Homo-oligomer: A and B are copies of this chain.
Amino acid sequence: MALLSDISWEAFQALSPDAKVPYFRDADREQHVIVAQQFDRARLDALGDLATRIRRIAKTHAGMDDLQSLLSHKRAMLYFSQPSTRTFLSFCAACEILGLKLGEVRDTSISSEFKGETQDDSIRTFSSYFDLIIMRSQIGGLAERSAWLLSNSERPIPVINAGSGKDQHPTQALLDIYTLQRSFETNGGIDGKRVVFVGDLKRGRTVRSLSVLLTQYRDVEQCFVAPDALQIGEDIQAILRARGVRFSLSDDLRAELPAADAVYMTRVQNEWDTTSGESARIDISAFCFGEAELPLLKPSAVILHPLPRREEIATAVDHSPHAVYWRQMRNGMWIRAALIATLFRKDNPIREYFESNGIE
Contacts and interface: CB of A to CB of B under 8 A. Distances in A.
* Complex copy number for this chain: 3
Interface residues of A, number: 53
A83 B113 contact: yes
Contact of A93 (B90, B130, B310): B130
Contact of A110 (B75, B83, B121): B83
A118 B105 CA distance: 26
A93 B65 CA distance: 20
A109 to B, nearest CB: 9
A85 B114 contact: yes
Interface string A182-203: 0000000000000000000000
A276 interface: no
A294 B297 CA distance: 71
B130 A326 contact: no
A89 B114 contact: no
Nearest to A330: B128
A315 interface: yes
Given A154-B326, A309-B121, A65 B61 contact: no
A110 B61 CA distance: 33
A49 interface: no
A110 B86 CA distance: 11
A113 B129 contact: no
A120 B255 CA distance: 31
B128 A326 contact: yes
A103 interface: yes
A117 to B, nearest CB: 4
Interface string A130-150: 100000000000000000000
A245 B272 CA distance: 63
Nearest to A129: B93
Contacts of A72: 61, 64-65, 68
A102 to B, nearest CB: 8
Contact of A333 (B68, B110, B129, B308): B129
7 contacts: A64-B73, A83-B113, A89-B126, A90-B129, A93-B103, A116-B267, A116-B308
| Closest 10 pairs between A and B when the two form their complex, measured CB to CB | A64-B73, A117-B308, A93-B129, A96-B101, A128-B329, A128-B330, A61-B73, A116-B310, A92-B103, A89-B129
